[in-house]
Amino acid sequence: MTIKEVAQKTGISVDNLRYYERIGLIPKVPRTESGIRNYDEMSIHWIEFAMRFKKAGVQLEAIHEYIQLAIEGESTKAARLDILLETKANLEKKMNDIQDTMDVINYKIDTYDKKCEPITNELIAEWKKSKKNK
């Protein structure tokens, strides 16, 4: 698959695909004899993996480290698992933080009229009173 086709398939620009390969965020892409990138299914897998982690807020350094370890092979299995476990713990914390915020927002929405209407009415009454006194 050409870089243009991969860009269309993944929604990642051609420039970013080249950049991600250059910095090692994705493994080197196979090339034709003339040096043109020829993306295979494994290349697409690595792009999707890296972008999924990037979208989840995983630091680029951690993604890069994981991919470099994967390239090194079986001997890095434990180190890769450590990265995955740390990433999972970080994501679980973020999810909990987001859920806590959603709970507050839902509470505010559910009680909005009861809490805001009296205050709004009080402010309007004070404003009207101040207009009469002028």
5-9, 76-80, 107-111: segment of lowest average pLDDT? 107-111
| pLDDT one-digit tens code per residue, 82-125 | 999 999 999 999 999 999 999 999 988 888 777 777 777 777 88
Residue 134 confidence class, pLDDT cut points 50, 70, 90: low
Whole-number pLDDT of residue 114: 75
pTM of full prediction above 0.85:
no
* Domains of the chain as residue ranges with CATH: 1-72 (1.10.1660.10)
Identify the bridge partners of residue 31 per DSSP, sorted by sequence position.
37
Tell me what the mean pLDDT of segment 18-29 comes to: 92
3-state secondary structure the chain: CCHHHHHHHHCCCHHHHHHHHHHCCCCCCCECCCCCECCCHHHHHHHHHHHHHHHCCCCHHHHHHHHHHHHHCHHHHHHHHHHHHHHHHHHHHHHHHHHHHHHHHHHHHHCHHHHHHHHHHHHHHHHHHHHHCC
Q: How far apart are alpha carbons 83 and 78 in whole angstroms?
A: 9
| pLDDT one-digit tens code per residue, 56-76 | 989 999 999 999 999 999 999
Apex CA 52: angle with CA 86 and CA 63, to 5°? 50
Whole-number pLDDT of residue 115: 73
More confident site: 80 or 127: 80
Enumerate long-range contacts of 69-73, CB under 8 Å, 24 or more apart: 70/27, 71/27
Q: Is pLDDT at 34 greater than 80 in this prediction?
A: yes
